[in-house]
Amino acid sequence: REATIEAALERVRSRSMAMHKSEELKEIIQVVYEQFLHLNILVEHAGFIMDYKERDDMHIWLADQYNIPSQITIPYFDSPHWNSFIEAKEKGLDFFANHLGFEEKNKFYQGLFKLFPGVADEAKDYYFNSPGLAISTVLLENIGLYIENFSAIPYTDEENATLMRFGKVFQQTYTRFLDLQKAEAQAREAKIEAALEKVRSRTMGMQLSEELGDVATVLFKELNQLVENLWTCGFVLCERERPEDEWWLSTETGFIPAFYLPNTSGVTHANIYQGWLNGESYHTEQLEGEALKEHYEWLMNIPVSRKIFEEMMADGFTLPTWRKLHCAYFSQGYLVIITQVPCPEELIFKRFAQVFDLTYTRFLDLQKAELQAREAKIEVALEKIRSRSLGMHRSVEIKDVVSILFEKLKELDLAFDGGAAIHLFTEGSRHAVIWVASPDLAEPTCVNLPYDENAFESNPIITDVWNAKETGEDIYNKFYSLEEKNTYFDYVFKHNDLITVPKLSRDFILQADSYTASFIAEKNSLLGANSWTRQLFSDNDFIVLKRIARVFEQAYIRFLDLQKAEAQSRESQIEAALERVRSRTLAMQKSDELAETAAVLFKQLINLGIAPNRLYIGIVRDDDGHIEFWVT
């Protein structure tokens, strides 16, 4: 018997000495469990209790026949076994035993399963239906070792002595375990610090705020080496009183362009956002079963997240059937890590959040600098448009203003492939003209849009333009069907010749299968921008377009003033010319002075910009009906 026990102890000693990683402790406790069985000792559970003197909980590595988790941590709860354990620690005992009857045993396991809800039903049934529980525990310098059975048969003195010998064997090799654990902790800490430094370095290297996507990619890459079954991770930026959060995420396939998700309607996201508002440091949301199904349905009802999921599934991703959102908060939002299995790395996530919080200040500085630079660029563009419009002396120069406007749109990255157009309206008329500028036109061209009752009643593009003009309501990123687009442009082509709209342009427009437009209305003009490839304006871009439209409206008002002044000046010139002709005619004394009157008339026409080759004045003679011509 002694030889058999020594052989069993040697197997434990040998396996312990062969450890290379601390996680191999689960294999050692399995060997211990198997050796007790080999010695015909009734054992249904065996476990190491680690560092029990320094801890207030029980951190256990265990083995049994049901493959329950190999490592668990049990916080204190009122029970005979826990109370005996505490008493033994306080008295410095090296051994204690417990014997629980059926009711006491079930009460103990009911409390235990509340802490560990994932235990299989088969195992629960066995534990609850067993007669009782007998436990023997030895406490050594750093570790404890216990065995138990559910037949409620107390262990004999010999069996308890054997238990003590197994405990002492592992205690002797425990120093090796601690050395391995320390080395692993140091290596892991070095790995974590290297990962943190890469995130910190990439954040500090940002030159544009859009590079936050690159930071998210680096974050995923580094966390993926530290965390098992990482699904996605990134940064979420929050603002008080804002009903949506800005998400920057990355997956194993790369960065997902920034998007916004509501933080009030979905239960999960509302809880996370509330945690940020409350100043929490960490929050988790575990989703499975019906709760996860409802969460996916909520996300699929949001266009931007539905599009992301559809693209991910097209790339071969499958939606997890279990997921946990880990949220480590910082001042401006939170670091979000979504895993597909339980993950205990709360401290690591908090450290990444702290690093990002420090470097996020730089991001905000960059964002502020970008906004200032962008605003300066916008102001320069507006001033160019304003300056050129104020420099107009003739109404035909409106073409130059449109040319500069389109040039500035390109500089601001607001000129889409469909170009831009300025609709000009005449008060009291349904007739309009459009000055069009686009990448395929050498210079702006003027297109006529006369009133066409059929087109005005049936085409939504024309209806939208005139509704915008009359109500002042803008049209923002509106998509029109192929048929709607072609009907509209058939109307345009009908009223404009091939010089104005060349055949090549007509063919391209009619063949394009997409048409997206935005219209910004002012009192006398309307700025339009369109795309053949579904390019869309962001909210900020649309605000800039509105500012440009307002500046152009001011220019157009000046144009109308010039036009009015030109008309008044022209009328004055005509009146002066008429007066000269009238005066010379009234001054005639003889019929042959008609030649001089004709000469005055000829000269006045030339002064008005009318340059005839000949001027005829015909006098009908009363006597014979012949006409006498005076030719100049």
Report which DSSP code applies to 155.
Answer: P
Q: Which residue is listed with tokens 């909210």?
A: 539
Q: What is the pLDDT of residue 213?
A: 82
Q: Which CATH number covers residue 241?
A: 3.30.450.40
Q: Give the whole-angstrom CA distance, residue 464 versus residue 64.
A: 73
Q: Which CATH number covers residue 399?
A: 3.30.450
> What are the start-end ranges of the E strands in 275-419?
282-288, 322-330, 333-339
In single-letter form, the type of residue at position 580 comes to R
- Residue 278 shares a structural domain with residue 308: yes
pLDDT at 5 over 80: yes
Report which DSSP code applies to 253.
Answer: T
Cβ partners under 8 Å of residue 456, min gap 6: 430, 462, 463, 466
Q: Give the whole-angstrom CA distance, residue 533 versus residue 514.
A: 6
Out of 545, 560, 575, a domain closes at: 560
Tens digits of residue pLDDT in 593-615: 888 888 899 999 999 988 888 88
- Residue 56 shares a structural domain with residue 169: yes
Q: What is the pLDDT of residue 68?
A: 67
- Residue 318 shares a structural domain with residue 430: no
Q: Give the whole-angstrom CA distance, residue 59 versus residue 47.
A: 10
Confidence of residue 206 (pLDDT cuts 50, 70, 90): confident
Answer yes or no: is 197 within a domain: no
Q: What is the pLDDT of residue 394?
A: 74
Answer yes or no: is 472 within a domain: yes
Answer yes or no: is 595 within a domain: yes
Answer yes or no: is 43 within a domain: yes
- Which one has a higher pLDDT value, 535 or 327? 327
CB atoms within 10 A of CB 195: 22
- Which one has a higher pLDDT value, 366 or 243? 243
Nearest residue to 496 (alpha-carbon basis) of 459, 430, 445, 427: 445
CB 96 within 8 A of CB 88: yes
- Residue 516 shares a structural domain with residue 539: yes
- Residue 146 shares a structural domain with residue 82: yes
pLDDT at 396 over 80: no
- Which one has a higher pLDDT value, 227 or 305? 305
Distances (CA, A) of 442 to 435, 439, 445, 527: 13, 8, 9, 20
Q: Give the whole-angstrom CA distance, residue 45 versus residue 248.
A: 47
Alpha carbon dihedral 333, 336, 342, 346, in 10-degree steps, equals: -50
Q: What is the pLDDT of residue 252?
A: 81
pLDDT at 395 over 70: no
Cβ partners under 8 Å of residue 630, min gap 6: 594, 595, 598, 616, 617, 618, 619
- Residue 62 shares a structural domain with residue 109: yes
- Residue 504 shares a structural domain with residue 428: yes
CB 288 within 8 A of CB 241: no
Q: Which residue is listed with tokens 């005005």?
A: 456
Domains of the chain: total: 4
- Residue 76 shares a structural domain with residue 118: yes
Answer yes or no: is 108 within a domain: yes
Answer yes or no: is 380 within a domain: no
The helix or strand, by DSSP H or E, that contains position 12, with its residue range, turns out to be helix 2-17
Q: In this predicted structure, which of 383-387, 509-513, 588-592 has the lowest mean pLDDT?
A: 588-592
- Residue 128 shares a structural domain with residue 247: no
Tens digits of residue pLDDT in 297-316: 999 999 888 888 888 888 87
Q: Give the whole-angstrom CA distance, residue 425 versus residue 3.
A: 107
Q: Give the whole-angstrom CA distance, residue 464 versus residue 403.
A: 25
Q: What is the pLDDT of residue 597?
A: 87
Out of 517, 533, 560, a domain closes at: 560
Q: In this predicted structure, which of 35-49, 118-132, 478-492, 566-580 has the lowest mean pLDDT?
A: 118-132
Model's pTM, two decimal places? 0.50
- Which one has a higher pLDDT value, 267 or 342? 267
In terms of C-beta density within 10 A (0-12 exposed, 13-18 middle, 19 or more buried), how is residue 436 classed?
buried
Distances (CA, A) of 585 to 5, 345, 582, 631: 144, 105, 5, 16
Answer yes or no: is 194 within a domain: no
Cβ partners under 8 Å of residue 352, min gap 6: 195, 196, 199, 219, 223, 328, 335
Mean pLDDT computed over every residue of the chain:
87
- Residue 219 shares a structural domain with residue 330: yes
- Residue 548 shares a structural domain with residue 592: no
> Over 284-317, what HEC string results?
EEEEEHHHHHHHHHHHHCCHHHHHHHHHHHHCCC
Q: What is the CA radius of gyration of the chain?
A: 43
The helix or strand, by DSSP H or E, that contains position 386, with its residue range, turns out to be helix 346-390
Q: Which residue is listed with tokens 């239960």?
A: 267
Tens digits of residue pLDDT in 551-570: 888 877 877 787 788 889 88
Q: What is the pLDDT of residue 391?
A: 80
Answer yes or no: is 192 within a domain: no
Out of 544, 560, 576, a domain closes at: 560
What tokens were used for 323? Answer: 């997921």
Provide the CA 551 distance to its chain's centre, in angstroms: 32
Q: What is the extent of the structural domain holding 622? A: 565-631
Q: Give the whole-angstrom CA distance, residue 548 versus residue 544.
A: 6
3-state secondary structure of 192: helix
Tens digits of residue pLDDT in 120-147: 888 888 889 999 999 999 999 888 999 9
Q: Which residue is listed with tokens 């509209």?
A: 488
- Residue 538 shares a structural domain with residue 572: no
pLDDT at 64 over 90: no
